[in-house]
Structure formats: structure tokens, C-alpha cells
């Protein structure tokens, strides 16, 4: 199950993402926002990030206007490796090389067709088996313990 979180800047694009997830039968847990009114993205993204970190959700898709705010918030959470992606290459490498568990998108940066392609790439790409990538992600995870 994927955790979804957005603010007003990501509200419209998140609607497209939700419809796509429903079409492909991918379950999600929606942390809001639930209206297009202005809200504070840290309030929405932080609980969604914790749900991923604690294993309530397997991964997350967070959207704000640029994707920057939600990615900063997500990466404050121990165990989260959030990747802000603007194309499928980045999403593929974020999964293969970084084992990213949160995808951040900018609702005012990319259009819905590209966003859906990025979402599909993120959800369908496994982490690499290469030792160097596993070693590097372990190094990142060790930082969570400091």
C-alpha cells in the first residue's frame, strides 16, 4: 500500500494519481489534503512519512507545488529516502540505486501524463542487487542511527 500526501499545490495532480492507482488496482492510504484550500505541507507529509517508515505503508507518493517541500519533510524522517523526480530516468535510478521509498512530485512542474509514467516507473522498478548500491544505502541507513 502506498501512502499519498499532498498540499494545495499538488491537489489536482494527486487526483490524477489516485485515479490511476484505482485503475491499476494499486491500494493507497490517503493522508490528504482533501480540499484545494491552502494548507501546510509539513502537517500532511510528516504523518505519511512516518507511516512508510513504520511499515504501515510500503512506499509513498508526496506532491506539493514544486515537490521540494514534501521531499524535505519526508527526508527528515528516519528510514525515509525520498526522491524528487522530474522524469522516468530519475525515478528508475531512485529505485535501483537509492532504494527510494518515497516519490516526490511537483504538481506545478510536470503534467499528469508524465507524472503517471514516473509513478509507474517508481512502483515497478526493484532495488538493484548490485553490492555497491546495497553498501551505499546501508551507509545512508546508518546515518539514521547517529
Q: Which residues are catalytic?
A: 64, 97
Pairing of β 28-30 and β 59-64: unpaired
| Grid-cell match 500526501, residue found | 5
Between residues 50 and 69, which has the closer beta carbon with respect to ligand RB5? 69
* Residue of closest CB approach to ligand RB5: 69
Q: Are 103 and 86 in contact (CB under 8 A)?
A: no
CB of 129 to ligand RB5, least distance (A): 34
CA distance 4 to 96: 21
Between residues 9 and 60, which has the closer beta carbon with respect to ligand RB5? 9
CA distance 100 to 119: 12
Between residues 83 and 99, which has the closer beta carbon with respect to ligand RB5? 83
Contacts to ligand RB5 by CB under 6 A: 7, 9, 41, 64-66, 68-69
Amino acid at each position: 500500500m502506498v501512502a499519498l500526501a499532498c498540499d494545495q499545490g499538488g491537489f489536482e495532480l494527486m487526483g490524477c494519481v489516485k485515479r490511476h492507482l484505482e485503475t491499476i488496482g494499486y491500494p493507497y492510504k490517503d493522508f490528504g489534503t482533501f480540499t484545494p484550500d491552502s494548507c501546510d505541507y509539513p502537517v500532511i507529509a510528516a504523518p505519511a512519512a512516518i507511516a512508510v517508515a513504520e511499515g504501515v505503508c510500503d512506499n509513498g507518493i508526496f506532491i506539493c507545488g514544486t515537490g521540494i517541500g514534501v521531499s524535505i519533510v519526508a527526508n527528515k524522517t528516519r528510514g525515509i529516502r525520498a526522491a524528487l523526480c522530474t522524469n522516468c530516468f530519475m525515478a528508475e535510478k531512485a529505485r535501483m540505486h537509492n532504494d527510494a521509498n518515497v516519490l516526490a512530485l511537483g504538481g506545478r512542474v510536470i503534467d499528469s501524463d508524465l507524472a503517471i509514467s514516473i509513478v509507474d516507473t517508481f512502483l515497478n522498478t526493484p532495488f538493484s542487487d548490485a553490492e555497491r548500491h546495497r553498501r551505499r544505502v546501508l551507509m545512508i541507513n546508518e546515518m539514521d542511527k547517529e
